[in-house]
A and B are shown apart, each in its own frame.
Chain A
Amino acid sequence: MIYTYIKFESQTQGEKAKSLLIKNNIKSHLRRNPNPDRKQGCNFALFVDGNIWKAYEIITVSGIKSSGVETYRERL
């Protein structure tokens, strides 16, 4: 399974982004990042129902801090 999501350093930033996307009629779900950076540690992943790049643009333009878009391939 391949996941693509927007990465956030804290739940607050992720929730803020989710709230902004709702105002833009984009549904999303915030989860714990399934593939955290080993140097940095725990963080959060926002899964977008729809065009993730459009969502990412909305978030970036608004000034909400994210750590970019990441793709993760789940190991079976």
Chain B
Amino acid sequence: MIYLDNGATSFPKPASVTESVRNAMRYSGGSPGRGGHKNTLKAGETVFKTRELLGEMFSCESEGVIFTDNCTTAINMAVKGVCRKGDIILTSTLEHNSVLRPLVKLEEKGIISFETVRINPLNDDDTVNNFRKAMSKNVRAVVCTFASNVFGTVLPIQRIGRLCKEQGVIFIVDGAQAAGALSIDMKRMNIDILCLPGHKGLYGPMGTGLMLLSGRVMPEELTQGGTGSFSMEKEQPLVIPDRYESGTLNYPGIAGLCSGVEFIRACGGEKTIHQWETELVKVLENDLSVIKGVKLFPHMKSSVCAPILSFNIGHRHSEEVSALLDKHNFAVRAGYHCARLAHENYGTAEKGCVRVTPGFFNSKKDIKNFVFCCNKIALGKKM
């Protein structure tokens, strides 16, 4: 199988990641932050080391690194934790359902209203102006993606962050497709809350996610319970990260995530990874563009983009193309990518599209073989 679906989850994981998960389960499986025996303290040390690494990577304090189950949970915690009755929330036309659905739910309950701001992939000034025009006194927060999970379009995050700061608006960013591939600096970009998956570009196992807090905004916690601290107090502690981490942490997952982040550092950082993945996307784009019947969506791309390329072949539905590719052992993601807004706004709602997301472990040969297979599909040859 040639795996080209790293936008869904990265695969394979670095060997050090699987080794760390195994070691955590086999040798030091104490519950971090609970009790005082050697195993639990060792687990706590690893969890803290992971917080420190992530804090350095994204420019926030280590205690602002909150572990969650996944990016969606983190977005729910952030959005539902900051919204108050009567608030207006701004979001973008490129959002994943992980942003859209919590907003729809809050609107249905009569708590907030939200407005979708149009993104112009080719003109950042236009995008920022659209956000500026949508600002009003009841706008509480901007919630938007760093990079589209369908087209790879990167939003002008730093400029939107500056605008939010000027207007006193909370800035929540979904960095699902960007973390590990693009540099995200919470301080420089004025991001108040950054939500991330651990299992995509950070190479951790599935079941790991993050809500990173700048410290400027403290959302209400959605769950209360045991934190391993202040055990004799009835109320949830306000100290972070404990406030947001009730219940036992996914220690094996976090140990794996720690090794994933160390892997990125050992490779030379996200810049090195992004360079390679972008090179693969360029080869793919060049080679697919000469195949008759292939429709690429590069016009959705900004000058800097996440390593994602989407396309369709002829009149076939994207799912049909994906199934044919799967028959030939190519793993890609077709359909609507949990991103109704993006597909509706950019003209791909009818057939969806085939999304290719190469990873750091893919070679140019993988891409060439993939293009060869696409060519056969486009020609309608028996496969």
Give me the interface of A with B, judged by CB distance under 8 Å: 9-13, 15-16, 19, 30-32, 37-43, 65
Tier of interface size on chain B: 20 to 34
Contacts of A38 in B (CB 8 A): 232
CB of B239 within 8 A of CB of A13, answer yes
Most buried by B among A9, A40, A42: A42
A27 shortest CB reach to chain B, Å: 14
User: Which one of A12, A40, A41, A42 lies within 8 Å of B48 (CB-CB)?
Assistant: A12
Most buried by B among A9, A11, A37: A11
Contacts of B231 in A (CB 8 A): 40-42
B32 at the interface (CB under 8 A from A): yes
User: Which one of B35, B62, B233 lies within 8 Å of A12 (CB-CB)?
Assistant: B62
CB of B33 within 8 A of CB of A11, answer yes
When A and B form their complex, what is the total count of cross-chain residue pairs whose Cβ atoms lie within 8 Å?
Answer: 67
B184 shortest CB reach to chain A, Å: 22
**With A12-B51, A19-B48 as given contacts, are A32 and B229 in contact (CB-CB < 8 Å)?**
no
Interface string of B37-50 (1 = CB under 8 A from A): 00001001100100
In the complex, A42 Cα to B45 Cα: how many Å? 17
User: Which one of A19, A30, A43 lies within 8 Å of B41 (CB-CB)?
Assistant: A30
B358 at the interface (CB under 8 A from A): no
Q: In B137-184, which residues have CB < 8 Å from any A CB?
A: none
B63 at the interface (CB under 8 A from A): yes
**With A16-B63, A32-B36, A65-B239 as given contacts, are A9 and B229 in contact (CB-CB < 8 Å)?**
yes
Q: In B16-66, which residues have CB < 8 Å from any A CB?
A: 32-33, 35-36, 41, 44-45, 48, 51-52, 62-63
Interface string of B176-211 (1 = CB under 8 A from A): 000000000000000000000000000000000000
